[in-house]
Amino acid sequence: MMRQFRFGVSMTTPAEGEEWRKRCRRAEELGYDVILVPDHLGMVAPFPAMIAAADATQRPRVGTFVLNTAFWNPALLAREIATTDALTGGRLEIGLGTGYVPEEHERAGLEFLPPGRRVDHLRHTLDEIERLLSDEEHVPRGVQRPRPPLLLGGNGDRMLRMAAERADIAAFTGARTAGGALTVLTADELDGRVAAYGRYAAGRPRPAQLNLLLQVVTVTDDRRAAVRELLPRVPYLSEEQALDLPLLAVGTVGQIADQLRAQRERYGFSYLTVLDPSMEAFGRVIEELRGT
């Protein structure tokens, strides 16, 4: 059975005090289901930002999209998760990733490990978090037991396998990273990644929700012209390939809604995330999709 759509907004733009709360309330008004925060230097600190977002709103859940596990000691992270889950009334979702920006590790005084070792560290962190949070003697104690819903993000085989084994939500970026640089995946390449995840997840008793980050949202009557403006950022793609990119939501509100319905049918993406500069524009698409 096809899942209903769910919508998240990643608050990548820092803000202070009342401005942060105002933007979170606006996300709720627009129909977003989850208010998300990233984990990058130069952006808001995830856990206090989520507590403020939950305090300013009534309905949306809050989550990390995603924590860089290289920044976190597992025992301290378990404390943050349990405390935040308690203070938000059980509205927390936790997204974990390996981290991919070498410069941030350097600024934090941390070694930027090779990909395999970053995945190993993530697995160790997850093992420890689950061990600690499932312990009835652990203090503080969260609301959701044994832990909040878990999102794992990544496209590599080891991350897909881990997501298939352990995550409630499997997040796809529609891009790959190499040395901190992003290269987008074509529609056919994303087919391959989703198919690989499907093979790893074949034995799950309950399917995970699949998430896609929409990197660009542009509401326009001239879809081709808008995509042409983006071509310098993806010079290795033709215009037709760019038009078909799953991570671009470009066109009229109706065209974007139709694209996302088709992608849900093709890939299974029912949980869609946008970056906060696109929050208002995508709000119109949410309204369209909610009405059908």
d(CA 71, CA 68): 6
Inform me whether the pLDDT recorded for 181 exceeds 70: no
* 13-23 residue pLDDT tens: 999 999 999 99
Domain layout of the chain by residue ranges:
6-210+269-290
Q: Which token pair is 260?
A: 């996302």
pTM of model > 0.75: yes
49 touches 11 (CB < 8 A)? yes
**CATH number of the domain at 6-210+269-290, out of 3.30.1050.10, 3.20.20.30, 3.90.1150.10, 1.10.287.470?**
3.20.20.30
User: Which residue carries 């990548």 as its tokens?
Assistant: 12
Please tell me the predicted confidence (pLDDT) of residue 175: 80
**What b/e string do you get for 121-132 counting C-beta neighbours within 10 Å, with b at 16 or more?**
bbbebbeebbeb
Please tell me the predicted confidence (pLDDT) of residue 236: 87
Residue 151 phi/psi, 5° resolution? -110, 130
* 31-83 residue pLDDT tens: 999 999 999 999 999 999 999 999 999 999 999 999 999 999 999 999 999 99
Among residues 185, 39, 161, the alpha carbon closest in space to that of 101 is found at 39
Mean pLDDT is lowest, of 7-11, 172-176, 203-207, for 172-176
Phi-psi region of 232 (alpha: psi -120 to 50; beta: other; left: phi over 0): alpha
* 225-240 residue pLDDT tens: 999 999 998 888 999 9
Q: At what angle do helices 187-200 and 253-267 cross, to 10 degrees?
A: 40
User: Which residue carries 């909610």 as its tokens?
Assistant: 290
d(CA 46, CA 51): 9
150 touches 166 (CB < 8 A)? yes
> pLDDT category, 292, cuts 50, 70, 90?
low
DSSP H stretches of helix in the chain: 17-30, 46-56, 74-87, 102-107, 115-133, 157-166, 187-200, 223-230, 239-243, 253-267, 279-290
Inform me whether the pLDDT recorded for 179 exceeds 60: no
